[in-house]
Amino acid sequence: MATHVTEQDISKLLSFLKGLSDQVSDVSSSIQSLLKKVDSGEISTSKGITFLEVKYHLLLSYLMNLTYVMLQKTEGRKLSGCPAVDRLVEMRTVLERMRPIDQKLQYQVDKLVKTALTGAIAENDPLRYRPNPANLRSKLEEEENQDESSEEEEEEAKPKKYVPPKVVAMHYDGDETVKQRQEKQLEKAKKRALSSALMQELKGEYFDGPEEVREGVNLHRLKEDKEARHKIEYEEDYFVRLPVTRKEKQAQRRLATTSSLKSLTRFDDITALDQTREDMPAKKKRKLPSKLRKKLQKSAAKKRKRKF
């Protein structure tokens, strides 16, 4: 039985060795072709990734030491105290520690290899749209220094042309009289007064027509309304009455105060609707006596000097 097992092991070993010799011949042929390309200058090895170079050197040393250990085994020698085993353990540890770095650099390595093979960057590459730090630098000074001499020469050579000044477009009202201008201002004031909130409230109170209901949005109540709606939905779903916290009471009191202050401090100018105002003569400003006016000017000048 033991002899049968040994014969099977020998046959397997021979098959493995045959496959290994075939693979070695293929690898050696490909390496020879690569070496020829490097010697002829078809492949440039000056610009490469140093991380990959270290990794390849480690793998090559690992294979060499592994071959030496296999040679020791085939010759029947002991491996205890063999320096090749210690080197294998050390290089295997380094390769295992390099694996996370290799995974992080996998995308960049694949992109560089693809770019080297095709000669162009893929259109859907997300790194094409990354910000360019060179664009953040101010190139105005460089362009000014380069173009100053050329611009001066061109300006001296070319005849100067008249360039009209850029003026903001203004409405021309030179043909209007003072009375027409006052009438326009009065019309604008009447429109503002009629569209004021006070007139709208009076219209809604005394007008016999149907009342218009419009939907409005108050920015101060958006958050509070959302929280109140959520609270009502929770109470209706679970049949539970939630207590009102002190913070909610303060928020309700603050909103009520804000709305009341808003209504108190809203004053609309409706004096433009007063028809009797047009018939009344305009009041003239009374002129102060010259002595009193000079005293007031001197006191104002002294106050300004004290401030400074």
Q: Note the pLDDT tens digit of each residue in 17-31.
A: 888 888 888 888 888
Assessment of whether the complete model's pTM goes beyond 0.85: no
More confident residue, 114 or 303: 114
- Are 84 and 68 in contact by the 8 Å Cβ rule? The answer is yes
Longest dimension (CA), the chain: 140
Residue 269: both structure tokens together:
């100018």
Nearest Cα neighbor of 70 from 32, 24, 30, 29 is 24
Of 84-88, 117-121, 200-204, 285-289, which range is least confident?
285-289
- CA–CA gap between residue 80 and residue 180 (Å, rounded): 115
Provide the pLDDT for residue 62: 94
More confident residue, 4 or 103: 103
Question: What are the φ/ψ torsions at residue 252 (nearest 5 degrees)?
Answer: -65, -40
- CA–CA gap between residue 113 and residue 107 (Å, rounded): 10
More confident residue, 111 or 101: 101
Q: How many helices (H) and strands (E) does the chain have?
A: 11, 0
Q: Which of 125-129, 173-177, 243-247, 258-262 has the highest mean pLDDT?
A: 243-247
Provide the pLDDT for residue 1: 41
Is pLDDT at 58 greater than 90 in this prediction? Answer: yes
More confident residue, 302 or 260: 302
Is pLDDT at 184 greater than 70 in this prediction? Answer: yes
Residue 194: both structure tokens together:
């009629």
pLDDT tier at 65 (50, 70, 90 boundaries)?
A: very high
Q: What is the percentage of the chain residues whose pLDDT exceeds 70?
A: 62
Q: Which helix (H) or strand (E) holds 152?
A: helix 140-157
- CA–CA gap between residue 160 and residue 155 (Å, rounded): 8
Instruction: Encode pLDDT of 197-220 as tens digits.
Output: 667 777 777 777 776 666 555 555
Q: What is the percentage of the chain residues whose pLDDT exceeds 90?
A: 7
